[in-house]
Amino acid sequence: MKGKLYLVSTPIGNPDDITLRGLSVLKTADFIICEEFREAKRLLSHYDIQKELISLNEHNESEAAGDILLKLIAGKNAALISDAGTPLFSDPGHILAGLCIQNEIQIVPVPGANSLLPALTGSGFRFEKFYYYGWLSPKKEIRRQQLNKLKNVREVIIFMDTPYRLKSLMEDIIKVMGSNLPAVLAFELTMPDEKFYRGTTGKIYNTAVKENLKGEYVLVINNT
């Protein structure tokens, strides 16, 4: 009998956010697929879990996915985790998932922590509908072209980016979309210094500069 691939959501900051089911799957899986060994070992040691680890990331996914597939076909069960949050969500694993579907290997999502929904629910905006864009291009010209298209999307829009690009991201949003759009910066979600910065795009930019904000974040803009 073929094994199963479990997609296990892991905490985005606070280790208490792991689910009971997630812990159970990590403890019983034959092996765990991770992005980086260091992050995975740190996470698993917190829960006193020791398992064989196989790295699958953007650099080796094509090769690693084939090797993992053979283990699954042989009947081994695997848990796929990302460095934080929900696997496949702006993270590697799509090639492996596609191979599993082609080979009729069951994929089992194990829901849990993510940054998108906490940012939305904490924003105070109405979001019966929303537009998730995620990561803009790191190249300024392309990023501004992307934002120019998003000007016409009349929805609550969600962006993510690396901590060191917050100021340049806000600069480009102000340049292209304006400084008076209602916006919320969900900063360091689930961590002790979690904070929601609220106001306009211009105000959030000024705060980011003044406080020299550095940390994980989700930016929510109300472009309705």
Structural domain boundaries in the chain = 5-110, 116-222
For residue 51, what are its two tokens? 């398992």
Helices 166-177 and 201-211 meet at what angle, rounded to 10?
Answer: 150
* Domain 116-222: which CATH number of 3.40.50.10800, 3.90.1200.10, 3.40.718.10, 3.30.950.10: 3.30.950.10
pTM beyond cutoff 0.75: yes
Residues in the chain, overall count: 224
Asked if the 5-110 domain carries CATH number 3.40.1010.10, the reply is: yes
Kindly give, in sequence order, each residue whose CB lies less than 8 Å from that of residue 48, ignoring residues fewer than 6 positions away: none
Residue by residue, what is the 3-state secondary structure of 62-99?
A: HHHHHHHHHHHHCCCCEEECCCCECCCCCCCCHHHHHH
In the predicted model, residues of the chain with pLDDT beneath 50 are: none
Same fold, 5-110 and 116-222: no
Whole-number pLDDT of residue 89: 87
Whole-number pLDDT of residue 95: 96
Whole-number pLDDT of residue 90: 84
